[in-house]
Structure 1
């Protein structure tokens, strides 16, 4: 009988042999790009593998994942790059790697780091006690600002004041579940700063304020429904609290203080840098192995790096200590996303091939008769975003819809809205749908508040979010 190691080697040999047989010809457009026509679906297995690792390893092998998630991500990336270099060509592997790093990953991680750093330098103290009205007001405020400072930034800024306001309450788990729904997800739908999927769309050519114009109404409907439901549930829960909690709600009010105000100005600088980079085309500044890097990208990224430096240098050190600020979350995001961005290369190539690619059936389902079905785009994007990462999921369906920003902002505007809403909204369906979800859960549990289990949280989302999304579908995507 073969040993376990021999079985693995045999399986890897079969996989590589199949890839060799199904390796496509290169796209003949000058750059050594990977053509998706005829590309086997097996090339997308590393992408599926890294996403399943993100979903399951923290639950099944938490210690292994905590210490070695970067190595696991690197392993999946190598499982694509090595066969690609060996069987299709080193120039193709090198070009695709440089393309995704220079044009997608580096701008993406610089923006996230800037938002994370600036949010970590702002601290809110005092302000209110956790009554139903106050909690609803804070959730509404967080939902609005998430679109302009990012779901991660808004969540990390407001979760500690919310914990402090509700410290004396016994019935409060639902408060933080709705916080994840609204602030960590749905609120990030108004600008490319709000959530990573929309920033990827911005990098692909979608106008900065296009999302504000087209996502405002769906966000208002989904957010409005959830805020009303939250107020009713919180009112019922608040009635069960002890008399001293009610007395605090009636009489105690702390003075609201905001520390680190310089970071608010730096937040505006981030908005300005991203906005200006989308308004002015400075042409190609440099080209690295067929990969053109625009002048506006270089200036934007330089400005964001300057913001990071300024925030670290001029923010009082004690503020970050009180916010329990550390680089752990950003390091984890960077390690995982570099693997995701690399392994998604063949999946996107296959999707770009449309009816000639291995995912032709998916294309046919989303576009029956060649006509995009917006409702199907919304739910397909959303269901995958619930369990995988919503940023690459958005990218997959953006390319499935053609990948042309001019068409998607114009004649296919409803389709792009459906894809955007699915990616941003339904990241709230599970803890693993969006990075801030787990971050909020960890902060809340660290403060001694019990949060639902993985499947317990999904019970909340199924009961509350799915009906909300059905209403959104009927109003906006039932065409």
Structure 2
């Protein structure tokens, strides 16, 4: 019955999209919109932040319905006020140019990472732990923070399962592998891929965030090493090792080749012009369509060539990507009027926010961009937060990559780095938390984790501000 209902819903949507009037306006005029249009967006972000903490069972079973409800609370008023043509136009624009490419990249990276298996075990002494965290940090910009987290968390847990105190290892893992490490390419973290879809060059973040990422990750790794040395010396060997040390072995080699295919497909879409086709009034680059098709092919190849035993050992399941797909569908829909209002700048409802990130002489306050983007990314999803401030900075990728390079770097670093400030700042954080707890690690509570991030990350980010974003 559920499947039939979904098929009927899809048929209704398809019929709406086929209507001749669908080729109308694809943008809302942000100058005419009031703050009430942002309520569905605020609602879905607060739902994502609070439901898992206070109504976890309800959230687990009804998150798709909750996301759909917030979407309808926006789409119905748009249809009534702006008409069906504009509603379908903005929906098609969001789906074809942003949501579909975004979710297909995540799907490909998620599947490929799930096929890479690290077997074996080493003893979790300070040097080996620091090395494992460093490898995971570097890997995050290649296979994404989610992929690197899923590949590396079990080896890290096995290495430390004989330690009396090991929660701090997982906390720093979240800081580095699940967040800061994903700063150097659009593959690393969803906000940066959204920037790529908006026109930011693939290697722009590699060049312009390398110093910030090296400094932040290096400092956090140093703090971890010193702390782990102290804890290791105090605790001694008090527990038998349930997984004796043996050499590490990596399987799933074809998936490393598929990562290269993903990177090549993204670079191709940014450099090759294959023409374009109009669908529902939306110009779709054929190179982008080919890129998205390659993501699907990569996913299928990875699934069919990875042994089931490898997936089982990795704990691979479709649950996380299904959750991301449902929630981001709601986020991408409800953010439509917010982006329109931000495009309006000082003529829109977010004029006070424009004033906060603008100096008296009219120049961008890059420190404010870094901390405001990061502050919201700490408790709301960092991908839509990045979009909000990208638009607030003008939304012109060519300008932001050149004259506004420091501003774009501040936005990018804030969104990626400060997703580590809480369990709900970035999707991999809570996944790692759940896996660690399942493995017997006594993880800090939500508020205790905030004390960890406040003590380690906030001073780090203050130094990042002083060194890189004062201008």
- CA drift of 1:242 comes to 3.4
1:76 paired residue number: 70
Match of 1:200 among 190, 194, 212: 194
2:454 paired residue number: 462
1:476 aligns with 2:444: no
- CA 1:248–1:302 in structure 2 vs 1: closer, same or farther (change >3 Å)? closer
2:254 paired residue number: 262
1:306 paired residue number: 297
C-alpha contact 1:129 1:248 (8 A) present in aligned 2: no
State the secondary structure of the residue aligned to 1:167: coil
1:355 aligns with 2:346: yes
- CA drift of 1:32 comes to 4.3
- CA drift of 1:368 comes to 2.8
C-alpha contact 2:68 2:330 (8 A) present in aligned 1: yes
Match of 1:55 among 43, 49, 52: 49
TM-score (ref. length: structure 2): 0.93
State the secondary structure of the residue aligned to 1:126: strand
- CA drift of 1:38 comes to 2.6
C-alpha contact 1:38 1:356 (8 A) present in aligned 2: no
1:319 aligns with 2:310: yes
Output aligned runs, 1:88-107, within 5 Å: 88-107=82-101
State the distance in 2 between where 1:255 and 1:281 align.
47
State the distance in 2 between where 1:163 and 1:388 align.
28
2:282 paired residue number: 291
- CA drift of 1:241 comes to 2.7
C-alpha contact 1:47 1:340 (8 A) present in aligned 2: yes
C-alpha contact 2:119 2:249 (8 A) present in aligned 1: yes
- The alignment's C-alpha RMSD in Å is 1.6
Output aligned runs, 1:385-464, within 5 Å: 385-464=377-456
2:144 paired residue number: 150
State the distance in 2 between where 1:32 and 1:209 align.
30
Structure 1 residues without counterparts, runs of 5 or longer: 1-28
Q: For this pair of structures, how many residues does the alignment match?
A: 448
State the distance in 1 between where 2:128 and 2:240 align.
13
State the distance in 1 between where 2:402 and 2:343 align.
20
State the secondary structure of the residue aligned to 2:209: helix
State the distance in 1 between where 2:463 and 2:436 align.
30
List, as ranges, runs of 4+ consecutive aligned residues in structure 1 with deviation greater than 3 Å: 29-32, 242-249
Output aligned runs, 1:235-246, within 5 Å: 235-243=229-237
Structure 2 residues without counterparts, runs of 5 or longer: 1-22
C-alpha contact 2:164 2:238 (8 A) present in aligned 1: no
1:117 paired residue number: 111
State the distance in 2 between where 1:330 and 1:399 align.
27
- CA drift of 1:271 comes to 1.4
State the distance in 2 between where 1:454 and 1:432 align.
9
C-alpha contact 1:113 1:308 (8 A) present in aligned 2: yes
- CA drift of 1:290 comes to 1.4
- CA drift of 1:62 comes to 1.1
2:5 paired residue number: none
State the distance in 1 between where 2:406 and 2:438 align.
41
State the distance in 2 between where 1:246 and 1:59 align.
34
State the distance in 1 between where 2:352 and 2:315 align.
48
TM-score (ref. length: structure 1): 0.91
State the secondary structure of the residue aligned to 2:336: helix
After superposition, the C-alpha distances for 1:428-458 in whole angstroms (9 at most, x for unaligned) are 0001100000010011111111111111111
Match of 2:321 among 330, 339, 344: 330
- CA 1:368–1:161 in structure 2 vs 1: closer, same or farther (change >3 Å)? same
- CA drift of 1:176 comes to 0.2
Output aligned runs, 1:140-179, within 5 Å: 140-179=134-173
- CA drift of 1:30 comes to 7.3
State the secondary structure of the residue aligned to 2:367: helix
2:4 paired residue number: none
State the distance in 2 between where 1:309 and 1:246 align.
42
- CA drift of 1:31 comes to 3.2
- CA 1:352–1:125 in structure 2 vs 1: closer, same or farther (change >3 Å)? same
- CA 1:457–1:243 in structure 2 vs 1: closer, same or farther (change >3 Å)? closer
- CA drift of 1:248 comes to 11
State the distance in 2 between where 1:85 and 1:119 align.
41
